[in-house]
Every structure is written in structure tokens, then in C-alpha cells.
């Protein structure tokens, strides 16, 4: 798994801490709590990192309307001979939307392991590198709603 994460980190992605800070996805600053993270398979040779705002209790204090996503049956029931379907890909999706400044201290992220893997972030022995999200992230209650709201205009 360490090699798999290192391979993903080598690409220009949010796992590359200098890249993520240059794009203002994460930044330094005061941190009250950390978000948990885990990875899920994305195809055969890639992973997707998910930052879980549930354990930090951030999701418990956020509100977003519940809306069901369409199932394949819903899509097929609405298809006719004259229908067409498209896929809108906005690149880094949730990362396109800024977090409110008041939420950022509660969206901390520990990038120590990533920095160690890349050998890009010098740290003192046993020191942790803590940053915080500046943008909405996958695993945050309000992220899907904010994206769909942006599509509606």
C-alpha cells in the first residue's frame, strides 16, 4: 500500500503537498480538530483519498438538504429514442469550492505521512505536519450539495 500511495503522490494531485498548497486546497493555520482519512480503490492502479469529517464531528454540525441520486432504473425509465445523456466532469470537483473561513480550523489534515513519502517536507524527528482544508473536500456533508447548487445556475 505504501508504494501505491507513493505512486499516486508522484502525480500532480492533492496528495502532493506543495501542489495542494499552491492551488490553495490546504494551508497552514490554527487547527482545532483533524479529519480522518482513508483510501478507496479507483480502477486497478489508482486510489482515491477520502477525508472523513464524521470522526472530527464537523459533519455533525453541518447541514445540507438530503437529495437522492438517480439510480440506473430512474435513468432508463426516462430514456426515449430521442434522449441523450452527458457526463459533466469538473476536474477536482469539490475542491473547486472554498470552505467558509470559520470552518477551516475544524478541517485539519495531517500531511506528515505524505510529506515523508515524498521526502519533500523536512520535519524534525517525531514532528507532525498539520494543515487545514481551504476548499470543500470529499467526505464532507455539504460538498455534494454545494456542487449541485453550482450546476443549477
pLDDT of residue 138: 81
pLDDT of residue 140: 85
pLDDT of residue 42: 78
Neighbour-count burial for 98-136, b at 16+ CB within 10 Å, e otherwise? ebeeebbebbbbbbbebbebbeeeeeeeeeebebbbbbb
Distance between first and last Cα of the chain: 41
pLDDT of residue 30: 93
Backbone angles phi, psi at 115, to 5 degrees: -60, -40
- Find out whether 62 and 142 touch, Cβ atoms under 8 Å: yes
Q: pLDDT by residue for the chain (153 residues), tens digit each?
A: 445 545 544 543 445 566 677 778 888 899 998 888 877 887 787 777 778 888 888 888 888 887 677 788 888 888 888 887 776 666 677 888 888 899 999 999 888 766 554 455 555 566 778 889 898 888 888 888 777 776 665
pLDDT of residue 105: 92
* Grid cell at residue 17: 503537498
CA–CA gap between residue 121 and residue 108 (Å, rounded): 17
Sequence-distant (≥ 6) Cβ neighbours of residue 92 within 8 angstroms: 14, 25
Amino acid at each position: 500500500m505504501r508504494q501505491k500511495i507513493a505512486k499516486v503522490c508522484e502525480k500532480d494531485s492533492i496528495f502532493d503537498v506543495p501542489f495542494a498548497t499552491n492551488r490553495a486546497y490546504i494551508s497552514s493555520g490554527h487547527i482545532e480538530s483533524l479529519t480522518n482519512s482513508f483510501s478507496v480503490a479507483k480502477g486497478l492502479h489508482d486510489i482515491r483519498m477520502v477525508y472523513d469529517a464524521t470522526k472530527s464531528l464537523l459533519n455533525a454540525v453541518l447541514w445540507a438538504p438530503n437529495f437522492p441520486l438517480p439510480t440506473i432504473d430512474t435513468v432508463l425509465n426516462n430514456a426515449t429514442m430521442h434522449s441523450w445523456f452527458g457526463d459533466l466532469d469538473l476536474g477536482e470537483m469539490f475542491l473547486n469550492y472554498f470552505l467558509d473561513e470559520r470552518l477551516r480550523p475544524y478541517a485539519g489534515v495531517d500531511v506528515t505521512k505524505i510529506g515523508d513519502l515524498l521526502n519533500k517536507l523536512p520535519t524534525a524527528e517525531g514532528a507532525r505536519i498539520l494543515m487545514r482544508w481551504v476548499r470543500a473536500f470529499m467526505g464532507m456533508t455539504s460538498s455534494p450539495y454545494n456542487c449541485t447548487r453550482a450546476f443549477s445556475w
